[in-house]
Structure 1
Amino acid sequence: MACRSCRRQLVLLTRQANAIAEIQSAAALRHPSLQTADPRCLRIDQRRSFANTPRQSGVRDSIARFFQRSAEPYRVVQATEEIYKTCAREALYTIPEKDRRAGTITKTEEGEDIGEGKTMWHEDFHLPPTFSTWSQVTMLHMYLVFARLRNLDRDAARSWQQQLVDHFFFDAEEKMDLTHGISSRGLRQRYLKDMFIQWRGVIAAYDEGVIKGDPVLAAAVWRNVFKAREDVDVRALAAVVSWMRLCLKMLDQIPDESLYYQASAVFKWRAKNELALVDKAARELEGQFVRDIPPIQKVPV
């Protein structure tokens, strides 16, 4: 997991890699035969008549491949960061500054800070605006992306998955520090280790549910997102499971080369929209049950 200074340096390197890619694209559009990344070489080649010799073309191709290999990791970092931001904003919450200063933050029975949240997960699914809710909902979205990334080449999949996890844990540590005032780095690291164990368990539980069927998947969502509450709304569980299946299907339909900028668009379809589908199926099932009940026959006296 990178520190803040390393993250800033990574952002600068990403911008530099993007600038190199733009120079290459512009040069290719003006002169398709020129594939070098150095603008000075472009000017030299324009003045000389032997710019398109086999030797010159080989050097340019080697330079282009070198810059492409060097820039690829930074492009992955930028792409996964955009995807992660979409996952992380789904259950965002805030801790009021006045409550933090006065020490009057409301807490759950487990001792978690309760903040203010107005997302779908808080209002429609009645989850408390806490760090635990945020982390579980974020991991739920990340899992859906993880499942799709497995279709990539093995090395590419590992690179994408690792970067996505790094974004999550860096953001989680920052929330512990800035939002909840956990200034001890050792304590934050202990919490992060526990979260990593939870993350591995989430992957295993959701994988099992996807394979074995909706009841097992609903049980996994109930244990992780809804903390195994006895008063959970089964409609919400059914809606989340239906939404997960739909997202996995839409992600599977995205080509590999378009995944980095289309994956976030999948989550524009909210899980609460599936409540209407759940209610419709429940009404149809209820009607079928009523039709199947045999009529009451009068018993002769």
Structure 2
Amino acid sequence: MACRSCRRQLALLMRQTTTATEFQNVAILRQFVATRPPRLDQRRNFGSTPRQLGVRDIIAQVFKNSAEPYRVVQATEHIYKACAREASYTISAKDRTAGTIPKTAEGEDLGEGTTMWHNEFKLPPTFSTWSQVTMLHMYLIFARLRDLDREVARSWQRQLIDHYFFDAEEKMDLVHGISSRGLRHRYLKDLFIQWRGIIAAYDEGVVKGDSVLASAVWRNVYKARDDVDVRALAAIVSWMRLCLKMLDQIPDESLYFQTESVFKWPAKNEFMLVDKPVRELEDALQPTVTSAPAKAPVKVAAKATA
């Protein structure tokens, strides 16, 4: 029996190769068959006849279309791994075996996380945090993919979301011990509904302004908590705008190998930009201390003792 990783890759490739690529190859072959053959009185060039050139072009195009799904699966896998590792966490095997995993106030399994999203942005190392931060990164990729051709964009987006749901189900099974397939599928359905809502919320924020975008981040990433630091919200919004700008500057043909490099700029660096107005205000309000001129020493004549 194939391992879990092999079955996952096989499912991705089967889904990809049975969609648009197959129909493109069929259309190309039909067009080739319908092509009229060259006339018999046409001068022959044994190096490359029109018929031979047509065969070569058709074969090259068919192989290109057949190889494209493998490129998309590989590229989206690298991109997804860059998104998923940003808020990665672990749960102790000892606690999982003994059933002593710590819980949050909402009843979620509380693991161990050392990423900036756990430390600087004060998010708990849970499955919910991991999924929300991962989907936040994926949204930025989805926004860039909309610039591609419609069918190409759908292919990339479909593979990217498949990677996420395969990984999410694997975490439910191996990390959190949810062995019931029906229960996992119910949770995955809830995640899909959240994902659709996230796309709509972040799209609205990108269009309407930073305050609306910060509100969407607050509702999804921070679960509308009352103790959220507004500096963190401002830093995340600034980082999202910067990532969208950097992704827009990547050419379409370079998305295969340059997309994941965008996330090398950590979101915590935006705290410097957020705190800049406060530092400037503090510098402006700080009183300037001017040193007074030193007074000349007073000479006191010593009294002569009688």
Equivalent residue, structure 2, for 1:7: 8
Amino acid at match of 1:278: V
Q: 2:156 matched to 1:155?
A: no
Q: Which residues in structure 2 correspond to 1:10-89 (within 5 Å)?
A: 50=46, 52-89=48-85
* RMSD (CA atoms): 1.9
**TM-score, normalised to structure 2's length?**
0.78
Equivalent residue, structure 2, for 1:199: 195
Return the alpha-carbon distance in structure 2 between the equivalents of residues 64 and 51 of structure 1.
18
Q: 2:256 matched to 1:260?
A: yes
Distance 1:256 1:12, change over 3 A: closer
Equivalent residue, structure 1, for 2:182: 186
Report the alpha carbon displacement of residue 74 of structure 1 after superposing the two structures with TM: 2.0
Report the alpha carbon displacement of residue 54 of structure 1 after superposing the two structures with TM: 3.2
Return the alpha-carbon distance in structure 2 between the equivalents of residues 256 and 83 of structure 1.
15
Q: Secondary structure at the match of 1:114?
A: coil
Q: Which residues in structure 2 correspond to 1:246-285 (within 5 Å)?
A: 246-285=242-281
Return the alpha-carbon distance in structure 2 between the equivalents of residues 12 and 256 of structure 1.
22
Q: Secondary structure at the match of 2:264?
A: coil
Identity, in percent, stands at: 76
Report the alpha carbon displacement of residue 62 of structure 1 after superposing the two structures with TM: 1.1
Report the alpha carbon displacement of residue 282 of structure 1 after superposing the two structures with TM: 2.5
Return the alpha-carbon distance in structure 2 between the equivalents of residues 280 and 258 of structure 1.
34
Q: Secondary structure at the match of 1:66?
A: helix
Amino acid at match of 2:165: F
**TM-score, normalised to structure 1's length?**
0.80
Q: Which residues in structure 2 correspond to 1:117-266 (within 5 Å)?
A: 117-266=113-262
Return the alpha-carbon distance in structure 2 between the equivalents of residues 156 and 118 of structure 1.
36
Report the alpha carbon displacement of residue 273 of structure 1 after superposing the two structures with TM: 0.3
Report the alpha carbon displacement of residue 12 of structure 1 after superposing the two structures with TM: 8.3
Report the alpha carbon displacement of residue 92 of structure 1 after superposing the two structures with TM: 0.3
Amino acid at match of 1:116: E
Distance 1:86 1:178, change over 3 A: same
Amino acid at match of 2:10: Q
Larger-gyration structure (1/2): 2
Contact 1:10 1:74 in 2 (8 A): no
Contact 2:13 2:69 in 1 (8 A): no
Report the alpha carbon displacement of residue 70 of structure 1 after superposing the two structures with TM: 1.2
| Residues 149-188 of structure 1: per-residue CA shift (max 9 Å, x gap) | 1111111111111111111011000000000000000000
Amino acid at match of 2:228: V
Return the alpha-carbon distance in structure 2 between the equivalents of residues 160 and 150 of structure 1.
10
Q: Give the one of 111, 129, 141 matched to 1:115.
A: 111
In terms of fraction of residues, the more helix-rich structure is 1
Return the alpha-carbon distance in structure 1 between the equivalents of residues 94 and 237 of structure 2.
38
Contact 2:8 2:166 in 1 (8 A): no
Return the alpha-carbon distance in structure 1 between the equivalents of residues 78 and 187 of structure 2.
25
Q: Secondary structure at the match of 1:137?
A: helix
Q: Secondary structure at the match of 1:267?
A: helix
Amino acid at match of 1:216: V
| Residues 178-216 of structure 1: per-residue CA shift (max 9 Å, x gap) | 000000000000000000000011111111111111111
Distance 1:158 1:12, change over 3 A: closer
Range with greater deviation from structure 2 (134-143 or 149-158): 149-158
Return the alpha-carbon distance in structure 2 between the equivalents of residues 279 and 243 of structure 1.
14
Distance 1:221 1:286, change over 3 A: farther
Contact 2:235 2:274 in 1 (8 A): yes
Equivalent residue, structure 2, for 1:23: none
Range with greater deviation from structure 2 (174-183 or 69-78): 69-78
Return the alpha-carbon distance in structure 1 between the equivalents of residues 188 and 139 of structure 2.
18
Amino acid at match of 1:202: I
Report the alpha carbon displacement of residue 103 of structure 1 after superposing the two structures with TM: 1.1
Amino acid at match of 1:123: N
Return the alpha-carbon distance in structure 2 between the equivalents of residues 285 and 253 of structure 1.
34
Distance 1:98 1:6, change over 3 A: closer
Contact 1:239 1:274 in 2 (8 A): yes
Distance 1:125 1:98, change over 3 A: same
Report the alpha carbon displacement of residue 145 of structure 1 after superposing the two structures with TM: 0.5
Report the alpha carbon displacement of residue 72 of structure 1 after superposing the two structures with TM: 1.1
Structure 1 gaps, min length 5:
14-48, 292-301
Equivalent residue, structure 2, for 1:17: none
